[in-house]
Amino acid sequence: GKTEAALDSFARSLRADPGNPETLLYKAQAFRDLSHWQQAEQTYRDILKERPNYWPAWDELGWIRSRQARYKDAEAAYKLASSVAPNVALPVANLATMYLEQGKRDEAMAACDRSLKIAPNEGAYLLLGDMAFTDGKYTAALDNYRRAATLMPGDHLVWRNIGDCYAMLGDQAMVKKNYARAAGLIADFVAA
């Protein structure tokens, strides 16, 4: 909640340890929280000048670009993240999302599969669930959303999606149960 003060602290820290990638990541996150996209992007580039194989900076750079609807640029950043960290599932799952945003559905599915071969992850399961739901394959969507819920049981979106599947499948009791769980998680978050 004190992002401006945090930026001052990061500046002091970087004077003592210039180029520290963790401090720079926190600084970029602060810019991101303030929606200062250009400063965040420049901070990620500063990290990558010193450490071109630092995949979290490539991944975050992809996120910044995706929030600006620069999907091609985001795709490029996620590809670089996945190439320098081929055993990390997150950049590949994020790449799948960028493919889907650009209408490259086959590439998105292939990237989800590749991501899941690296490690089970919520992002790939959610995206596969979304694609199945869009196709009217509610049982397949439900299966993917359940897998995501197993990995991230505290994510309200997953439970809402599960409720949506049950709504399409006509199971009102399960709709209420899963929507209630999603609402409870949102209420807990708001209360915190």
List the structure tokens of 109: 């599915």
Q: What is the pLDDT of residues 134-144, one digit of tens each?
A: 999 999 999 99
Other Cβ atoms less than 10 A from the Cβ of 35: the count is 9
Over residues 62-67, the mean pLDDT reads 95
Residues 6 or more apart in contact with residue 163 via CB below 8 angstroms? 174, 175, 176, 177, 178, 179, 182
The Cα–Cα gap between 67 and 73 comes to: 11
The Cα–Cα gap between 55 and 88 comes to: 9
C-alpha dist (Å) from residue 84 to 41, 149, 153, 178, 182? 19, 29, 30, 39, 36
Report if pTM > 0.75: yes
Q: Which residue has better confidence, 179 or 20?
A: 179
Over residues 105-125, the mean pLDDT reads 98
State the virtual CA torsion across 67, 69, 72, 75 in degrees, nearest 10: 30
Give percent of the chain above pLDDT 70: 99
Q: What is the pLDDT of residues 139-165, one digit of tens each?
A: 999 999 999 999 999 999 999 999 999
Q: Is the pLDDT of residue 117 over 80?
A: yes
The Cα–Cα gap between 55 and 49 comes to: 12
Give the model's pLDDT for residue 159.
98
Would you place residue 25 in the very low, low, confident or very high pLDDT band (cuts 50, 70, 90)? confident
Over residues 3-24, the mean pLDDT reads 75
Q: Is the pLDDT of residue 30 over 90?
A: no
Would you place residue 20 in the very low, low, confident or very high pLDDT band (cuts 50, 70, 90)? confident
Mean pLDDT of the chain: 93
Give the model's pLDDT for residue 65.
95
Over residues 33-42, the mean pLDDT reads 91
Q: Is the pLDDT of residue 1 over 70?
A: no
Give percent of the chain above pLDDT 90: 78
Give the model's pLDDT for residue 121.
97
